[in-house]
Amino acid sequence: MAHLLLIDDEAPIRKSLREILEYEGHEVAEASTGMEGVVLATKKPFDGIFCDVKMPQMDGLDVLDMLAKKKVAAPVVMISGHGTVETAVSALKKGAYDFIQKPLDLNRVLVTLRNMLEREALVETTKVLKKKVHVAQSHAMVGDSEGIREILSMVDTVAPTDARVLVTGANGSGKELVARQIHNGSGRADGPFVEVNCAAIPSELIESELFGHEKGAFTSAISQRRGKFEQAQGGTLFLDEVGDMSAGAQAKVLRALQEQKISRVGSDKDISVDVRVVAATNKDLRKAIAEGDFREDLYHRLAVVPIHVPSLADRSSDVPLLVDHFLQVFCGQSGRAVPVVTQGAMKLLRSAPWTGNVRELRNAVERLLIFCPAGEKVDEKLLAKHGHLGT
């Protein structure tokens, strides 16, 4: 059963449409004016809205504008006895789901409603799945060392704000995890978290990746493409390895941060964006500035709040907690019992150099678990054979 709203100044139209929808088992509310409909839609969530175009005082297109301003998410089907192509196009441009002409055809109404509800169900399912994936990738930071406690305190403080954050630290130390926790603790948590690895994208393509491009902007641009800034609208954009960004991309990112606007490659049209930027790097950006490889003005825009993630060698007291955490995760995924790690093995794990930081430790724990027979312990012998410590 869906909760539907009918907005039409003609009582007979509302009655006939209501009878159709209630016969199909849906719950229906009515409004005789555009303003009354907007008030109802903002007070109670609806699964769909049917709205007449021609109404006194506030017509259907004005209703669409008002619903958008009030961030009403329900899809809207416009109905009109005086429909024109221009009116239909205007309604669809303003966000209407569909446009139906009067006199209303029973089958057309029911098919439109079914498609609308199915689409909304798919959209909601996609949101849930995306959130599950994000949560699965966003384990809480594990550790009780002074460095980790300080980071968690800073994250708790800065996350609810829109301040830009620059996360520094060695490869594998957990910079992305910090960025995800900032996103999860912000008012943008329900929005997208979009990651860009600036070091993995060729310099000639980074601008297209970040800002999108128009069809024909370059040889391989066979269609229009939205960039990461647009994809992150209302959420967080994580610029990983920002120190490897090309000079041209740095200039455009600086403009985006200053003006909250971007332009696609091959276009001079500005697009407004509402995006929080969290950046990360394993480089010394001040040294890069001195060498002319990074813009100082961009650095100060990004580093409103700097957070440094210490290497695992500097917080070896966290190794036992991390080992236990990874064992719990991997055993939970495979459905096997968590093996005991002997004191001798844990001592060796704590003293290992871990040049690859937490990422290397995670891989080592997964490898040890693979080669540890069910019911056996992770001991020095297993560690010597499959730990590959210091390699």
- For 185-222, how does the pLDDT look when each residue is reduced to its tens digit (9 = 90+)? 999 999 999 999 999 888 888 889 999 988 887 777 77
Which is more confidently placed, 62 or 124? 62
Between CA 391 and CA 382 the distance in angstroms is 16
pLDDT of residue 316: 94
pLDDT of residue 136: 47
Tokens of 370: 């693979």
- For 246-272, how does the pLDDT look when each residue is reduced to its tens digit (9 = 90+)? 888 899 999 999 999 999 988 888 999
Q: What is the mean pLDDT of residues 321-346?
A: 93
CATH architecture of 146-310: 3-Layer(aba) Sandwich (3.40)
pLDDT of residue 153 exceeding 70, the answer is yes
Asked, colleague to colleague, whether 146-310 and 313-386 share their fold, the answer is no
What are the boundaries of each domain within the chain? Answer: 3-129, 146-310, 313-386
Which of 52-66, 228-242, 276-290 is the least confident region? 52-66
Centroid of chain to Cα 330: 25
pLDDT of residue 391 exceeding 70, the answer is no
> The domain 3-129 belongs to what CATH superfamily?
Response regulator (3.40.50.2300)
Between CA 207 and CA 215 the distance in angstroms is 15
Closest CA to 213 of 157, 262, 285, 275: 262
Which is more confidently placed, 305 or 56? 305
Asked if omega into 339 is within 30° of 0 (cis), the reply is no
- For 5-35, how does the pLDDT look when each residue is reduced to its tens digit (9 = 90+)? 999 999 998 998 999 899 999 999 999 999 9
pLDDT of residue 318: 96
pLDDT of residue 118 exceeding 80, the answer is yes
pLDDT of residue 105: 85
If one counts every other C-beta atom within 10 angstroms of the C-beta of residue 126, the result is 10
pLDDT of residue 134 exceeding 90, the answer is no
pLDDT of residue 126: 64
- For 346-374, how does the pLDDT look when each residue is reduced to its tens digit (9 = 90+)? 999 999 999 999 999 999 999 999 999 98
Q: What is the CATH number of domain 313-386?
A: 1.10.8.60
Q: Is the pTM of this model over 0.95?
A: no
Q: What is the mean pLDDT of residues 280-307?
A: 96
- For 50-90, how does the pLDDT look when each residue is reduced to its tens digit (9 = 90+)? 999 989 889 999 999 999 988 898 999 999 877 677 888 88
Closest CA to 358 of 308, 322, 307: 322
Between CA 279 and CA 287 the distance in angstroms is 17
Tokens of 56: 């006194």
